[in-house]
Every structure is written in structure tokens, then in C-alpha cells.
Structure 1
Amino acid sequence: MSGLINQLLDEIPSNEEEQQTKALQRVADIARDLWKTEPGSTDLDLLAQRVGDLAREESNRIPLGQSGLLEFFCSVVSTQGLPRASLVVQCLRIIGNSSADTDENRARVVASGCLPAVVALLKNDDDEVLAFVIPVLFNICVDYADEPSSSEPAQKAIYQAGINPELISLISGPRLEDAAPLLNYICKLLGFVATQEPEANLVHPATPFVLLSLADNQPPPVDVKEFLGQTSVALTYLSQEQFQQSFLETPGSIKLIFQTFSTACGDLDASLEGPEDEAQLKQVQTAFTATLADLSAHALFASSCSLDGPEVATLQGWISTAHIPLQSAACLALGNLARSDEKCVYLVQARGIHKPLAAILADQSHVDAGLLHSVLGFLKNLAIPAANKSVLGDAGLFEAEALPRIWDLDAQTQVQFDAVSLARLLLVGCPANVHRICSPVGDEGKSKLQSLIDLSARSDQEPTQMETARAITTVCRVLHSTPAAAKESSSTPDIIDLDTFYATHNTIVDAMLRLGQQSKYPILRSELLFALALMARTAAAGAAAISRTASQQEKLLAFIAEVITGEKSKTEQTSNETENPSAPSLEEIQNLVSLEPQAPISSGTQQKPTTATTTRNVDRENALVLVAELLRQSSSSDALSADVKRRFEHLLREGGEMVLRERKSGE
């Protein structure tokens, strides 16, 4: 029989696909007869070996599939309790070689249903079988085709056959040494199934921990390709929330990811391996940063990392390294840990964690958007507690090379917004920082506040426009809330003269008006109204600045009129209207309303819920206070034109009557 088999295989034509297929069909018939009548015959092993050799030639693969030989040997390998490893090995050779670069045969293998049996062979203690089964599975699943979807059925099939738990058991148990030469294939196979929808018993929960442990335990010098293969697959699993909890529950997991991340940033030189490995290293570093950000958001991470423990010390050390991925990850992780005023105060005042952050912002060479975004985000957390604001200001955040530098990065709009938002938080209720931003810089005498005003004028980004206007409004609110500007630190300069302040920032009210010109965020309009009314009530210079803008800018009158009357563009009395002789006088109306803050500007403060009616009424009263103060001070100032004065008087009477009617209806 062996002679006949050899003769038939030797006579197979090499160039004609149709003739090859017919010849191989005759071989398939012989193979079926052998399997049926003499399953233990070594002739079948010989036939399988010769067919496996044929499959190594690309020109033979399609005929092997068309002849039925491939499906036959798939059925053989699926048989329970095959009598000998030699036949198993030859069947695997046929399956693996036939599938290489040949999508049609890969589809035939998947359709045959043999993959669960092939995956089950991973349990086989025979090292020879192991050496074949893993490359065969790889050949079946790897994507050689132009269409990535061509490999998906195979990957799904081996996933459902349980390849993940089998491979993880293999590389985390006593057979690791036997599997070591195949780790590259194993990691790729685990990567192929990493994004499949997780199902019970189909994914080992320790997968990312085992892979990171393999990467971390490499003897020096670290093999770049193996390290990147193992870590990239581990991070793919860790990007899925269901693996993050089990990972953090594993003792030593945080230390492990810190160590492998450090290795990826400091101990590898992927450029020695070529541009592809260098690109993959950057992808792995980015994935580490994202993964650590996700993990640090879990309660388990916070409970495992005390603020005075080694984990936080490691993260703090990363901030001062020369590796941007480590710096960014540290800021993101520490920002997730610093979620209470108490923790933020401790990190700033006990650990001085803000100092290297300020140094990054002040370093002109730091222009990486990701790093600046993470640094600014962390500082925003630290800036919320009142006790930290002046301390952060003392660290130089308002110096020209720090936040003002980033305000000028018009090409990085998100980073620019973050820098403005941080400035606003630092200014809330903090006279010391208000002094810093208002102080003149250099020979020109231009303040950092003027830089914000300039940014407000040129920005076409609505979030930046709003946040800039809020920061500017906050400055005015602080200046007029604490006219004495009590010093909060030794570096606080002298009290700011408001006449000089408004003279040198003569477009400040126009910048603030952005808050009133939008209707998307009512609370911002309320902030503006309260600040304007406060400015007008507490200082003649503030009232004069608003009056000048009102006389020059119709939009300010329109905004005030809309708040008072509830109607847009109603700024003057029509010709057929007459004053109500029973209406209260201007003096009575001025005494009728009081200045009320709608809500504190500061973040992190719990607010009582308010209704739209309550908000509207408070805004109206603040607008009336503003108008009343502007009219009261107009007698000693020529900032308010006669026409605007007349229109304000009408609005004050109309608004006062509305307030009286509402109060009477509520009695």
C-alpha cells in the first residue's frame, strides 16, 4: 500500500490545478479506505506525512482543499482517542500548511468543526504535539487577506473552543519552560481573541497579570519583541473593565504594572530593533498611560494606595522623570486619587506635589499636548480647596512662562482651555492670586489679566470664551468683595487701586459680557449679573467702567433689558406709553431690591436646588440693583450718556413695578 501511495503522490502534476485536484481525490479515496479498514496502519501515517510535505508548496494548497484531503484529515484529528501522536502531528502539519496564506482552506478548517479538538491538544503532555498545535492555530487565525474580516470566524472559533484558559494555564504552570520557544505565537493567539465578547469559562481572569508577569520576569537584556508582545496583549485585556477588577484584586498587581511601565519607558531601546518596534513601543507606552488612568479610577486602587505609601511615592517620582508617558500617567493616576479636599491639601502642603507640576508648565520645552493636559487636570483638582490656592500661586503658576505661556497656545485649544480653567479656580476667593494676575509684567506694564482679555477677544472656541469670561469676572468679583485685599502670603503685593485697574483694563466689561450673550448656561448669566451689580455698588470706578461700556455697547443694554423685562431688545419706552403716576419713585425702587448672589462661583460647593422662576427673580433683582447703582452714581460721573440714563430709568421703573406685583401676588 505504501508503494501505491508514493507512486500516486509522485505523479501529481505540478502546474495544472484541475489535474492536481483529480489526482489528490484518488489519494483521498485511499486515505478514507485506510481509515475505515485499518485505522492503526502506519501507511496512513506515511500518507499523511507526504500530504503534509505537499502542503508546504503554495501551488498545492488549493487542490488539497478542493480534493477533500484537507477535510478528511480535519475529521481524523477530531476523532476521540487517536492511537498515536505521530498521526496527530502529521494531521496538524496538513492543517497548518494548507491554511498558510490560503483563506479558502482556512474557511474549510473552520467549517469542519475540528478546532475544538485542535485546541484540546494543548492539554497533551507530548512536547512534539505542542510544538505543532500552537503554530497550526496561528496559521489558521492569522490575517493574511486584504479583508481583515476573513480571519474573524477562525478567531471566534478558537475562542469558543477555550483557547484562552488553555494557553494561560500552559504559560502559568509547570509547562512554561516547554512552551517558552513558542511564546511569540502564544501571545499573538491570545491577542487574536482578546477583543471577543467575554463569556464565562472562556477567558482566564488572570490573563493580564500572567502576561505582565512574563514580561517583568525576563532576564536582562530584555528581549524587545517578546516584551512588547506580552505587554501589548496584557494591556488589550486590561482595557476592558471586566478584567480590571480581577487584576486589582491580585496581590502585587499595582507594583507589577508600575514595574513593567517603567521598563517600557526606561529600559528598552526599540530603535535598535527597527522602526516597527519603535512604533509599537510608543503604542504600548500610550496604552500603559490609558490603562493606569482607568485602574486608578477604581475604588480598589485608592484603597490599596495610601497617600504616604510607596505607590504614591513612585507616582510622584515619575512626575520629575524625563519620560512623558510616565509623567502623564502619574498626573492622571494621582488626579484620580485626589478626589477630596483633604487629600488635595495633604498632597500640596505635606508632599509638595505641586512643585514639579509647576516646573513642567514653566519649562518652555514642554509642548506635548497630552502631558500638559494631564498636568493641568491634576492641578485643577489640587486648586479646588481654598487652602491650596495661594500656595499654588506661590509656586509661580501665574508667572509669564507658566500659565500665561499656555494661554498663547492657540493651536492646542483643549490645553489652552485647561489652562484658563485652572486660572479661574485659582482666582476664586483668593485675593493673593488676583493680585498676581493683575500685576504688570515687564516694561510694557501689561498684566497677565490683560493676556486673558486678549484671549477672550481672539478665541473662536466657545468653551474657552466662556471660561475666559468667567475667570475675568471672578477677578472683578474678588476685587470688589475684598476691597482691602487682605494679604494671604508674604509675596502678596500692595492693594490694587481700582481707578488704575479699570483704566489699564478698559475692555474688561466687554470681555465679561460674553457670559450674558449666551443662553445655553443660565448660571453663567447669573454670575455676570451679580459681579456687575457688585462692581457698581461697591466702587465708583467699577460703576464708571460699566457705564462707559453701556454707553458704547448696545449689547449690554439689551442684556440688562432682557433680564429685567423678560423680552429681548426692549430697551426703551415706546411712543404710546406713559409713566404710571402711581408707580414707585426711583428712590423707592432703589431701596426695594437687594443684591443677591445666585450661586457661588467656586467649584465643589453644594447648592440648594433652585427653580427657573427663582433664578429669574434673583437675576432681575440683581439687574435692578445694577441699574439703580449706575443711575445713583451718574450724577457724579459723565460716563453714562443721557440717552442711556433715560432708558435705564425706564427699565428701573418697569422692573420695580414687576417686583412689586410679584411680591403682592405671593403674599
Structure 2
Amino acid sequence: MASQDYKDGGSTGLVPVATATTDIFSLAADIDLPAVGTLFPDLTGLKSLSSSNESEVIPAEEQDQMFRALQRVLSKTEGDEDAFDTRELRNALESADVAAQEGQRGPQLLGGVAAILQKLWQSESQYLVEAADALANASRDPSWRIPFGQSGVLQFFLQLISIPEVNKDLLFHSLRLIGNSCADTDENREIVVSNNYTRAIMRLVLNPELAHVAIPVIYNICNEFEPAQAQVAANRLGYVLLKQINDGAITGNALLNFTYELVELTAGQAAGIENSPDGTIVLIMAIALKEDTTFAQYTCLVTCLEQYMQTERFQVASIRHKLVEHITSVLQRSFSIEVNESVTEDVQLLNQLRLKLNQTLADISALPLFLETYPVGSPLLDTLQSWLTGRGDTLQICACVVLGNVARTDEICQLMISQLNIHRSLIHILKTNTIGGVLHAALGFLKNLSIAESNREKLGEADIIPAVSKVWTYDTVPQVQLAAVSVTRLVIASNIKNITRLLTSLSSDPDSPAHSRTYLSMLLSLCGRTDTAPIKTEIGRIICSLCRTLLSRSKASEVDDAETARLLDRLFDLHEDIARPLGAMITQTEWPVVRSEGWFALALMASHDKGCPAVVDCLIDTDIYTQVEKSLDVADDESAATNEQLQRRGDRDNLVIMVKELLGRDPESLPEGKKKRLRELMDRAVASLS
């Protein structure tokens, strides 16, 4: 918005402002919402003009002479012929203009104007208002602005408005001059800021007869001038303006435009947020939820709210005063606010603000205090749960993230599934939604719920594996694929029934090619086609979990375990490439513990007759076989004690077991050359241990 020039006139286009949402203020009755008048008890520290009754009275004739001196410098507007010799004034102004054209306009042209103004003030002269009017009119000419600052004229009017009791008309013209003199003129803005005169101007925002001028004046001082922005923000201008908007004290579209820009400007200043009362966010939300708040105003308010809510102080305040439900209401309001869908920028802005509100709610719900105030069963969480089954993608994401943050203990996770059946809504989302953001949020929530061991079987019963298998096929969104694979790893951990479900045929028809394929087959297929290392690694960890559960269970059973034996047969008979994901774990270098997990799983697999061929299939990979040779060929240092060295020693022990099992079973698929080399390495390894 361009800087504002001030003419002699009032505001137009008055628009009534609705009262604030009562519920917000009743719930936040104990929040800090100071009356704006209390923010300006005095203007301590500001240099103001001396009181008129402390100076001698100047005779009327002398006052007239002083005013005529001003006439020689500035032009009066047409009219009032009886009061002034306008021809003389016009001639004087023309002479000044000629000088300006020659590059000579400067403070010297103003002569002793500042001194004359001071004397007119001290004598309570009737001419002072007219002089202020004339000077304010002249200040609309950019060429006069710097001379006004350098000559002391601007300083005079800044001191004048700092006095508590001043004639309204005089204040009006003083504000006009200040605002015009500071338009696009940093030198004059610095005069205002260096003495903190913005406080005096802000005080006049509370005057119903002057607010329509004071607000644009502040805008002119702050526009593209950071020192002024920081100062008004520190002086709590944002709160003052929000309170005035909410109370209906600021009206008119043009004035409201300036006001909202200033509110947003102050929210971008750290000092503004730091000095603002807690009630600032209450005002923002209350105004945002009003029916007559326009799209532009709403977007401004949400931008400000998001900036305030980035600080822990306001996050905590929103919880303590139970304002989080109103933040969700502001989010919901974004779906009913009137927006021109044909304006791409507006639609994009609205979507960005929704994302920011979601992030705000995510940050708030991650605080420990949140669960204390909003336990499971509270109205807010009930509302969020209802969003899971709604059609709004943004609201579904919000619900998944916030409720997922609540699900931080086994007790709460169990409650959410056993009593609220919340997992069924999430699984339904996986089955019916194709939007990456929604799927990712739902999977993140399901991961939290899956950590509680007692929840895994209920998740399996609700068909979570068929649901996540659909997401495994979304190759264009690898981060969603990874989340779906991670959920799978969690739900099958130490759970025979879910392992059975993972090994279930994709078709019950014996004549269908899908009959010999399982859900695990789909995962192995994903591992073969993806270039995303974390996905490969996570699938490898699923194989590790299967081996650990089934093979350990088989070895520990004192009697024949037909079910485990059947599952092991399916594991190895239907998945010849079962060990290949373990190779991805071994060759990655970022996580040593994952590498160790891979070696351990291969050792377990090699201990089973049907697992040996799968291990050989893995060792065909040159990189993996090279790792085997390299690890076995390194002498063991008994004095080694670092974590890394101890981990490598453990890896070597698992390798020794793996190779021993392989050589003992002598699989035909292992080439003779590699068998010989492995025997040599084993003999050397055993010798080093003896």
C-alpha cells in the first residue's frame, strides 16, 4: 500500500463491526486483557512543549505579525480572503518554488518558522490552528518534507501532540503534518523514532475523533522503515489496534486496511510478540471468527496468530486458558470464509494458512501440558475424532496429528482402540484415500497406536495389513510408502496372528497366480523396485522380525509346533528372495546397529534347512559377499573396548555362526569356489579365537 497523503477531511465508508465471540472471552476470563487506556498512563520521557501559562502573553498585534511572517513562506488554500493577503502568500510560495527548482529549497527558506510556532503556542494564539493547517497542506508537497524536519517544524508538532490537553483541530492538523512529512522520508521518521514519539501518536488512536488520521500516520512512519516497526511493536500497537477493532472503534474499509496491515506488521516483530499481553491471541481469534470479517482480514489474522503461536509462551497460554478449541474453530472457519476461487493466489494463500494452523496445533498438542488439560474423552478430542470420518483432508490431517501426539503412552493407546475404536477410522482412511498428506498423517497415528503390544492383534483383526498393502503400491510418494512399511513392521512384531496375516495368499483361488503370492511378496516386490534406501532397510527389518519370532519360537518349543512350522514353510517356500532385503541392511553405512541386525537375521535364517538357500541367494550379491570376507578376515582384538569395535566383534560372531550353518548344510546353490574360500576364512577365524 502506498503512503498516505492527508487532506483536511474525515473518514468515509463506515462499516459496523460485530461484537466479539462471547464464548472465547468467557472461557478466557482470567487471561490478561488490559484496557488499552491503561497502556498509556503518561508519556514519560517524551519532550513536549512548555505549558502556555508559564510564558508571557504576546500581544495580539505581535501575533498577527508573526503569522504574516509565515505567510511569506507558505501558501494558504483559497478562501478566507479576509483573514490573509493571499496574493502575497502565493507570491511568496512561487518564489520558494523557483528556489526549489534551482535546488535551493531547504530549511533556510523556512526562516524562523519553528520559533514563530513556539511563540504562537505560548501565547495561545488563535492563529496557531490556521498555521498548522497551512503547514500541513504544504507538507503534502514532497519537496517540503526534509526542510520541515531539518528546520524543527516537525519536532515542534511532535512535541505538541505529546501534551495531554490540546485542541482537537490543532491535533488533527499536527497529525497531518507529521504523517505527510514522514511519507517515504526516512530522515524524518528517524526524528520520530529517536525520541519514541510513536507513543504519543498511538495514544491518539484511542481518540474517536482522531483515530482515522492517527492510524494512517503510524502507517506512513512504519512503511518500509524497520526501526519504526520495531518501536510500535514494542509499544504494543498490535494489541491496541486489535482491541479497537474488536470493540468496533475502528470503522471504514480504508482505515481498516491500514489497521490490519499494521497488526500484521507488528506480529512480524519479536519485540511485539514478546511485549503483547496473553489476551492478544484471544482478540485475534475472536475477530477471525466474526461473520463480517472479510477474507483479506481473516488471512491477516491467521498469519498473525501463527506467528504468536510459534512461541512457547503463547502455546502454553492457549492450553491453560482452554483456547485450543478456538484455534480449531479458526481452522474450520477457513472452509466457510468467502474466497474468490478464480484468484489462484488467494486459494494458495488459504491452503498455506491451513497448513500453518495444522502445524500450530501439532506443536501445541506435543506439549506435556496439553494432555493434562485435554484428556481422552474431552470435547476437543471428541471433535477431532469426528474429523477422522469427515471429508475435509486438512481436518483429517489435523485430527491425526493432534490425536497422534496424545497417543504417547500404552495406556492411552489401548484406550483409543479398545473403547474409542479410533483405529477403524484410520484404517478406513487408508482404504479410501489417495492423498499423500492424509495417508502420511493417518499412518503416523497408527504407528503410535501399534507400539502398544496389546493393540497389535486388534489392528490385525481390523484388516490393517490389507489396508497398508494398498499404500505399498504408491511409488510416487516414497515417504508414505515408508510409513506404511513401518506400520507393518510394528504390527507383526512378536505377533503370530499378524505374521499369519502377512503370509496369507492374495487370492483364495488355487488356480489364480495370486494364490502363491502373499502380502509379504508385495513387500519384497517393493524392495526390488524402490530406490529409497530407508524403505529397503525397513523391509529388511520386517524380515528380521519374522525370523526372530518364528525361528526363535521353533527352537524354543519343546514339542512340535505345527503352526510355526507351517508358517516357516510358507516363509521360505513362497519367497525365494526373502533374504535380499537383509543385504540392504548390511551394505548401508549410516546405522551400524541396523547392519548388525541384518547379520543376526542371516545367521538365524542359515540355521533352518529351507532358510539356507535364501542366505545363499543373498550372498550372490558381490557387495555382500565382499563384506563377509572382509569381516571374517579381520583379526579379533581382545583389548578393543569401544562401542563400534564391540559391535563389529558381535557382527563377526554372527557371521561365524552363519557360515558354520551354511557349510554344515552344504547347500547345492553355493558355488564350490565360495565354499572353499569360506572354509579357509572359518578356519582362520576359529584359530584366532583359540
In the other structure, the counterpart of 2:353 is 284
Aligned CA distance change for structure 1 residues 435 and 98 (closer, same or farther; 3 Å):
farther
Structure 2 segments unaligned to the other structure (5+ residues): 1-63, 77-85, 558-562
Pick aligned residue for 2:452 from 385, 401, 413 = 385
What is the CA deviation profile of residues 178-213 of structure 1, one whole-angstrom value per residue up to 9, with x for unaligned ones?
Answer: 235555433322321223233897332332222112
Alignment of 1:396-435 (within 5 A): 396-399=463-466, 402-435=467-500
**Aligned AA for 1:391?**
K
Alignment of 1:66-145 (within 5 A): 66=147, 68=149, 72-79=153-160, 80-81=162-163, 83-100=166-183, 102=184, 105-113=185-193, 116-124=196-204, 125-143=206-224
- Alpha-carbon shift at residue 270 of structure 1 (Å): 1.4
In the other structure, the counterpart of 1:155 is 229
How far, CA to CA, are the matches of 1:640 and 1:86 in structure 2? 101
How many residues are paired up? 586
Confirm or deny: 8 A CA contact 2:117 2:128 kept in the other structure.
yes
Superposition CA RMSD, Å: 3.3
Pick aligned residue for 1:18 from 97, 100, 103 = 100
**Aligned AA for 1:558?**
T
- Alpha-carbon shift at residue 363 of structure 1 (Å): 1.8
Structure 2 residue 329 is the aligned partner of structure 1 residue 248: no
- Alpha-carbon shift at residue 289 of structure 1 (Å): 0.5
- Secondary structure of the residue aligned to 2:611 is helix
Confirm or deny: 8 A CA contact 1:156 1:196 kept in the other structure.
yes
What is the CA deviation profile of residues 573-623 of structure 1, one whole-angstrom value per residue up to 9, with x for unaligned ones?
Answer: xxxxxxxxxxxxxxxxxxxxxxxxxxxxxxxxxxxx994444334333322
In the other structure, the counterpart of 1:595 is none
Alignment of 1:633-648 (within 5 A): 633-634=665-666, 637-648=667-678
Structure 2 residue 427 is the aligned partner of structure 1 residue 358: yes
Pick aligned residue for 2:328 from 245, 254, 258 = 258
**Aligned AA for 1:533?**
A
Aligned CA distance change for structure 1 residues 549 and 613 (closer, same or farther; 3 Å):
closer
What is the CA deviation profile of residues 378-409 of structure 1, one whole-angstrom value per residue up to 9, with x for unaligned ones?
Answer: 1111111111223223333322xx42333333
Pick aligned residue for 2:648 from 610, 616, 634 = 616
- Alpha-carbon shift at residue 153 of structure 1 (Å): 2.5
Confirm or deny: 8 A CA contact 2:582 2:601 kept in the other structure.
no
Pick aligned residue for 2:339 from 270, 273, 277 = 270
Alignment of 1:255-334 (within 5 A): 255-265=325-335, 267-271=336-340, 274-334=343-403
Structure 2 residue 635 is the aligned partner of structure 1 residue 561: no
In the other structure, the counterpart of 1:593 is none
How far, CA to CA, are the matches of 1:9 and 1:472 in structure 2? 95
Structure 2 residue 592 is the aligned partner of structure 1 residue 518: no
Alignment of 1:476-515 (within 5 A): 476-483=547-554, 496=566, 498-515=568-585
- Alpha-carbon shift at residue 117 of structure 1 (Å): 2.5
Aligned CA distance change for structure 1 residues 10 and 468 (closer, same or farther; 3 Å):
farther
Pick aligned residue for 1:32 from 114, 121, 131 = 114
How far, CA to CA, are the matches of 1:197 and 1:136 in structure 2? 23
Pick aligned residue for 1:475 from 546, 562, 571 = 546
How far, CA to CA, are the matches of 1:68 and 1:20 in structure 2? 20
Aligned CA distance change for structure 1 residues 200 and 540 (closer, same or farther; 3 Å):
closer
Confirm or deny: 8 A CA contact 2:149 2:181 kept in the other structure.
no
How far, CA to CA, are the matches of 2:575 and 2:491 in structure 1? 20
In the other structure, the counterpart of 1:594 is none
How far, CA to CA, are the matches of 2:521 and 2:280 in structure 1? 55
In the other structure, the counterpart of 1:49 is 133
How far, CA to CA, are the matches of 1:529 and 1:390 in structure 2? 29
Confirm or deny: 8 A CA contact 1:74 1:95 kept in the other structure.
no
**Aligned AA for 2:125?**
S
What is the CA deviation profile of residues 413-449 of structure 1, one whole-angstrom value per residue up to 9, with x for unaligned ones?
Answer: 3222222222222222222232333333254323332
**Aligned AA for 2:423?**
H
What is the CA deviation profile of residues 239-273 of structure 1, one whole-angstrom value per residue up to 9, with x for unaligned ones?
Answer: 223322233222x31222122222123x2231269
How far, CA to CA, are the matches of 1:322 and 1:547 in structure 2? 50
Aligned CA distance change for structure 1 residues 10 and 352 (closer, same or farther; 3 Å):
farther
Aligned CA distance change for structure 1 residues 520 and 279 (closer, same or farther; 3 Å):
closer
- Alpha-carbon shift at residue 231 of structure 1 (Å): 2.5
- Alpha-carbon shift at residue 306 of structure 1 (Å): 0.8
Structure 2 residue 299 is the aligned partner of structure 1 residue 228: yes
**Aligned AA for 1:262?**
Q
Confirm or deny: 8 A CA contact 1:78 1:114 kept in the other structure.
no
How far, CA to CA, are the matches of 1:411 and 1:16 in structure 2? 71
Confirm or deny: 8 A CA contact 1:434 1:478 kept in the other structure.
no
Pick aligned residue for 1:193 from 266, 275, 295 = 266
Structure 2 residue 600 is the aligned partner of structure 1 residue 530: yes
What is the CA deviation profile of residues 65-91 of structure 1, one whole-angstrom value per residue up to 9, with x for unaligned ones?
Answer: 345489623442234416323222212
**Aligned AA for 1:229?**
C
How far, CA to CA, are the matches of 2:518 and 2:551 in structure 1? 18
Confirm or deny: 8 A CA contact 1:389 1:426 kept in the other structure.
yes
Confirm or deny: 8 A CA contact 1:184 1:229 kept in the other structure.
no
How far, CA to CA, are the matches of 1:142 and 1:343 in structure 2? 51
- Alpha-carbon shift at residue 301 of structure 1 (Å): 1.2
How far, CA to CA, are the matches of 1:484 and 1:188 in structure 2? 72
Tell me the TM-score normalised to structure 1 length.
0.79
How far, CA to CA, are the matches of 2:172 and 2:464 in structure 1? 68
Pick aligned residue for 1:208 from 281, 285, 298 = 281
Aligned CA distance change for structure 1 residues 106 and 128 (closer, same or farther; 3 Å):
farther
**Aligned AA for 1:536?**
A
How far, CA to CA, are the matches of 1:296 and 1:62 in structure 2? 56
In the other structure, the counterpart of 2:61 is none
How far, CA to CA, are the matches of 1:495 and 1:544 in structure 2? 17
What is the CA deviation profile of residues 318-346 of structure 1, one whole-angstrom value per residue up to 9, with x for unaligned ones?
Answer: 22222222111111111111111111111
How far, CA to CA, are the matches of 2:150 and 2:625 in structure 1? 88
**Aligned AA for 2:339?**
A
- Secondary structure of the residue aligned to 1:460 is coil
- Alpha-carbon shift at residue 297 of structure 1 (Å): 1.1
